């Protein structure tokens, strides 16, 4: 319990007093030509109505290379049970219905939505408040069966500090909640002041002898990570996390 309280405290520092324990990544694919309208609707209406319904706005961003006409954001909830109740409240809010209807006079804004549910990764959110970054990479790790704890240990004992050594900034770390009961994935945000700084820092990290030694030692009994998905993002001006 103490470990969880420490993690929440540090996470709350990063997010300016967050009390969320359950999270959701929502990726919206906008209809053709509708992304600017979607961005504007979030700024002028949706974010405030989320908060009115008890949700927490964590971060809003666009891919650096937005090839799929998308917007991604992360919401926080007090707990898993409250998520559906809050969304029902939001969906039935007359203010939301009015804003949605007015914004879609010339056609719907959203084509489809992807969802990922998460909880805080234990032991990986103990870092102090991080200074604002100009760019982020959202990284998702799929581990080989039974290797997730090995990955968490490696991050806690080595990787996070080695990121910081190269000027990369650790932001929140989460574990996915897989509805089919499969092994969770590790998801986190890594920041830097700009793309050039990120690229230089990450290139230095992967060549760092300390990292290579830690990686090889952790994989003595077999590889840990099966796949890494990484996407570069820039936050929208109204994003709480920057």
Listed residue (48, 66, 65) closest to 57, CA to CA: 48
CATH of domain 2-119: 3.30.70.100
The answer to whether domain 2-119 and domain 121-235 are alike in fold is: yes
Task: Specify the pTM.
Answer: 0.92
Q: How far apart are CA 74 and CA 151, in angstroms?
A: 23
Task: Report residues of the chain scoring pLDDT below 50.
Answer: 1-9
State whether residue 31 is helix, strand or coil.
coil
Cross-strand bridge partners of residue 112: 29
Q: At what angle do helices 195-207 and 209-218 cross, to 10 degrees?
A: 60
CATH of domain 121-235: 3.30.70.100
Domain ranges in the chain?
2-119, 121-235
61: phi then psi, degrees, rounded to nearest 5: -155, 165
pLDDT digits (tens, 9 = 90+) for 211-240: 999 999 999 999 999 999 999 999 999 999
């Amino acid at each position: 319990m103490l470990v969880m309280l420490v993690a929440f405290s540090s996470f709350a520092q990063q997010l300016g007093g967050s009390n969320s324990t359950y999270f959701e990544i929502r990726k919206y694919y906008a209809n053709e030509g509708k992304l600017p309208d979607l961005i504007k609707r979030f700024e002028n209406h949706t974010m405030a109505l989320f908060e009115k319904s008890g949700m927490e706005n964590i971060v809003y961003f666009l891919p650096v290379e937005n090839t799929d006409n998308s917007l991604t954001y992360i919401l926080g909830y007090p707990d898993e049970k409250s998520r559906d109740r809050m969304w029902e409240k939001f969906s039935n809010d007359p203010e939301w219905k009015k804003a949605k209807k007015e914004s879609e006079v010339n056609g719907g804004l959203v084509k489809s939505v992807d969802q990922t549910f998460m909880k805080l990764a234990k032991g990986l959110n103990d870092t102090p408040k991080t200074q604002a970054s100009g760019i982020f990479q959202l990284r998702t790790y799929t581990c080989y069966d039974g290797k997730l704890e090995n990955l968490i240990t490696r991050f806690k004992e080595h990787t996070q500090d080695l990121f910081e050594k190269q000027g990369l900034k650790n932001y929140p770390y989460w574990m996915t909640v897989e509805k089919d009961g499969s092994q969770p994935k590790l998801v986190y945000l890594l920041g830097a002041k700009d793309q050039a700084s990120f690229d230089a820092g990450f290139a230095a990290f992967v060549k760092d002898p300390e990292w290579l030694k830690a990686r090889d030692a952790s994989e003595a009994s077999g590889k840990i990570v099966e796949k890494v998905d990484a996407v570069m993002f820039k936050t929208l001006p109204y994003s709480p996390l920057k």
